[in-house]
Structure 1
Amino acid sequence: MIAIDPDEPGGPEVLKPVARPIPTPGPGEYLIQVAAAGVNRPDVIQRLGQYPPPAGAPRILGLELSGKIVGAGAGADPVRVGQTVCALVAGGAYAEYCCAPSGQCLPVPAGLSMIEAAALPETLFTVWSNLFDSAHVTEGSVVLVHGGTSGIGTMAISLGRVFGLTVIVTCGSDQKCARALEIGAAHAINYRTHDFVEEVKRITDGRGVNVVLDMVAGSYVSRNLQCLAEGGRHVTIAVQGGMQAEINMASVMTRRLTLTGSTLRARSAAFKAHVADTLLDRVWLHLIEGRLRPIVDTTFPLSEAAKAHVRMDAGKHVGKIVLRIA
């Protein structure tokens, strides 16, 4: 099969198509003929040599895909062979074939293309498990999301619209702010021209937000805490701004704030299967009936994975970048 499996870390130019053996599904896994694969920020970090795959995961890049099940390992239901699915994987999606745990394979929602389906798993699993499970948002919650036009940001906006959240986002330009509002954000703050802490206070009449979903970390953490209402929750899902933060713990105590965070890739198959079951129960009907759609920015053929990463590195995309494979 053709895959993107660079031998050395580096820039986008290391992402060249190579021949690799078709994988064999292990116990509880399906072999999927891949139609499309989503491009995510962790792929970039892995390409740079800073995010090695978890033990046992393929070295081939790619954390999400859509395609057709063409084989089943021991313990995986053979009845599903032939079905089209989208799947969350720990690696291997930038290829013509990929193995996925059965519990992480979800049916492609009626009405969605394979490109759209490939744009779902990574952001949907991440946003749901962190906002709805960890941060316990409910209808009426006010949420601040950084990176409002990223894949995570656009999914948070879209889910927020469906589930009655008020979503405030930050973006790096007026154009991106306008696009975030079109997608469904209640408010969009250009962090290059405005102090988001002051803007959040203004928007919420000084009350603050219930939850901050943060992928920046670093110096943003102390500022994020200033945005929280009493009893608010701060959820970190990436550290693009640095791994160290200095915060006022007295404020955390007196305002009863909660700080938490997670990564998805290294979580157990059982955890991911639980999230998949919840999504199937709570979210899938919204996809089928058209109330929820992933935002797709651009697509590239697998052979042009390098160009996809150039676009990701430039930070000009809105929503998901997707590789077309079949």
Structure 2
Amino acid sequence: MKALRLHGDRDLRLEELPPPPPPGEGEVQLRIRAVSLNHIDVWGWRGMAFAQRTLPLVVGAEASGEVAAIGPGVTGWAVGERATPYGARTCGTCPACRGGRDNLCENVQGVAGFHIDGFAREVANVPARTLVKVPDAVPFEDAACSTVTFGTVEHMLFDNAKLQPGETVLIQAAGSGIGSVAIRVAKALGCTVIATAGDDEKCRKALELGADHAVNYSEKNFSSVARRVTGKRGVDVVFEHVGAATWAASLLSLRMGGRLVTCGSTSGVSAETNLMMIFQRQLHIFGSFGCRIGNVRDAVAKMAQGIRPVLDTVVPLERFAEGLERLESRRVFGKIVVTL
């Protein structure tokens, strides 16, 4: 089978590997149809693993496919059904896993494509308990954005920020995969959306997606816009994942008792914080990493209802590195998806 393996920093090779054995106890063999690119793929490509790993490593953290074979002890699945695999290799037995909080697994083995072999290959064996069924109405390219992308948005906005209909939300980096999905999800809920982006073209696209206001943060102070739009009250929720470059202004954009949820730090991991503002204004800050498998189920259900991820580019497996370079340069609006 074809597989894309990382051999070293920025050293990706498309190789012919032996196919996996028949699926074992509790496993399903998935024929991969599409892989979505994420910043975690860029980090791994650069050599930023944050944990011990063994190279070469099959890349790809987010994917979709169809069931090719079913292992012993697996029920509820049939050959040919469409599915998306949860990207973290969790234990399934710790209190967090048993309670449906998979992203807090106490014995996680790693993230696919980052610490352990990922999904940029034609066939992969995965634990059946980590698979989520995908309705036939959802294309493979969209379904490939359901775990790291759409699921992350679900976990941020609903598990953590508890976003409610009619609230005002500030969404950072509207051109990113999660930013563009967050706009669509928040608007479908009936929220007022203020989106930020780094150039006027991305702001225009954010407005086309449904954002009520768009701010070019390279030219304007988005916290001032947020206060003007809300009559000096401030927004209910800030959807933050940029990091140091936007952190202070994100906090300033919040109303009294407002909620900030963050899942990233692409512009830097350290930022000064005015602690007096935090406690005087009674702000709530939530850290959010990954998602629950339940969030993925919610994501594919919303896709089936018509709330789809924004696709920037679709390329074949042979052009995976080209997609990473495009993502690294931030010349994207939405997701880059690789098809097999």
Fold match by TM threshold 0.5: yes
Distance (Å, rounded) in 2 between the aligned partners of 1:52 and 1:96: 27
Deviation at 1:220, TM superposition (A): 2.3
For residue 68 of structure 2, the aligned residue among 70, 75, 95 is: 70
Match runs of 1:16-35 below 5 Å? 16-24=13-21, 25=23, 27-35=25-33
Q: Which region of structure 1 is more displaced relative to structure 2, 188-197 or 15-24?
A: 15-24
C-alpha offsets along residues 211-262 of structure 1, whole Å, 9 cap, x if unaligned?
A: 1111112242222110111111111101111111211111111111111212
Distance (Å, rounded) in 2 between the aligned partners of 1:300 and 1:53: 29
Q: Let me know the Cα RMSD of the aligned residues.
A: 2.3
1:6 is paired with a residue whose SS is: strand
CA contact (8 A) 1:103 1:273 kept: no
Deviation at 1:18, TM superposition (A): 1.6
Counterpart of 2:294 in structure 1: which amino acid?
H
Q: Which region of structure 1 is more displaced relative to structure 2, 26-35 or 240-249?
A: 26-35
Distance (Å, rounded) in 2 between the aligned partners of 1:144 and 1:26: 46
Deviation at 1:106, TM superposition (A): 2.5
Instruction: Give the aligned partner of residue 301 of structure 1.
Output: 316
Instruction: Give the aligned partner of residue 15 of structure 1.
Output: 12
- Which segments of 5 or more consecutive residues in structure 2 lack a partner in the other structure? 88-110, 113-117
Give the direction of change, closer, same or farther, for the CA distance of 1:17–1:242 in structure 2 (3 Å limit).
same
2:260 is paired with a residue whose SS is: strand
For residue 131 of structure 1, the aligned residue among 157, 161, 179 is: 157
1:66 is paired with a residue whose SS is: strand
What is the percentage of aligned positions where both structures have the same residue?
33
1:97 aligns with 2:117: no
Instruction: Give the aligned partner of residue 303 of structure 2.
Output: 287
CA contact (8 A) 2:155 2:288 kept: no
Instruction: Give the aligned partner of residue 267 of structure 1.
Output: none
1:316 is paired with a residue whose SS is: coil
CA contact (8 A) 1:28 1:102 kept: yes
Distance (Å, rounded) in 2 between the aligned partners of 1:252 and 1:241: 22
C-alpha offsets along residues 14-57 of structure 1, whole Å, 9 cap, x if unaligned?
A: 2220233434545543221101110111100111111357889x
Match runs of 1:242-253 below 5 Å? 242-253=268-279
For residue 276 of structure 1, the aligned residue among 282, 285, 296 is: 296
Give the direction of change, closer, same or farther, for the CA distance of 1:251–1:78 in structure 2 (3 Å limit).
closer
Give the direction of change, closer, same or farther, for the CA distance of 1:73–1:35 in structure 2 (3 Å limit).
same
CA contact (8 A) 2:169 2:194 kept: yes
Instruction: Give the aligned partner of residue 255 of structure 2.
Output: 229
C-alpha offsets along residues 171-230 of structure 1, whole Å, 9 cap, x if unaligned?
A: 111111010111111211101111111111111111111111111122422221101111
Distance (Å, rounded) in 1 between the aligned partners of 2:52 and 2:85: 17
Counterpart of 1:273 in structure 2: which amino acid?
I
Counterpart of 2:175 in structure 1: which amino acid?
T
Give the direction of change, closer, same or farther, for the CA distance of 1:5–1:142 in structure 2 (3 Å limit).
same
For residue 87 of structure 1, the aligned residue among 85, 88, 105 is: 85
Instruction: Give the aligned partner of residue 91 of structure 2.
Output: none
Q: Which region of structure 1 is more displaced relative to structure 2, 93-102 or 150-159?
A: 93-102
Q: Which region of structure 1 is more displaced relative to structure 2, 177-186 or 118-127?
A: 118-127
1:7 is paired with a residue whose SS is: strand
1:313 aligns with 2:328: yes
Give the direction of change, closer, same or farther, for the CA distance of 1:54–1:233 in structure 2 (3 Å limit).
farther
CA contact (8 A) 1:72 1:78 kept: no
C-alpha offsets along residues 299-323 of structure 1, whole Å, 9 cap, x if unaligned?
A: 1110111111121122121111000
Counterpart of 1:2 in structure 2: which amino acid?
K
Give the direction of change, closer, same or farther, for the CA distance of 1:217–1:36 in structure 2 (3 Å limit).
same
Q: Which region of structure 1 is more displaced relative to structure 2, 25-34 or 228-237?
A: 25-34
TM-score under structure 2 length normalisation: 0.85
Distance (Å, rounded) in 1 between the aligned partners of 2:64 and 2:51: 20
Give the direction of change, closer, same or farther, for the CA distance of 1:230–1:63 in structure 2 (3 Å limit).
same
Match runs of 1:205-224 below 5 Å? 205-224=231-250
CA contact (8 A) 2:86 2:293 kept: no
1:2 aligns with 2:2: yes
Counterpart of 1:157 in structure 2: which amino acid?
I
Give the direction of change, closer, same or farther, for the CA distance of 1:145–1:101 in structure 2 (3 Å limit).
farther
Counterpart of 2:124 in structure 1: which amino acid?
C
Instruction: Give the aligned partner of residue 144 of structure 2.
Output: 118
Counterpart of 2:292 in structure 1: which amino acid?
K
Counterpart of 1:32 in structure 2: which amino acid?
L
CA contact (8 A) 1:233 1:258 kept: yes
Distance (Å, rounded) in 2 between the aligned partners of 1:55 and 1:9: 13
1:5 is paired with a residue whose SS is: strand
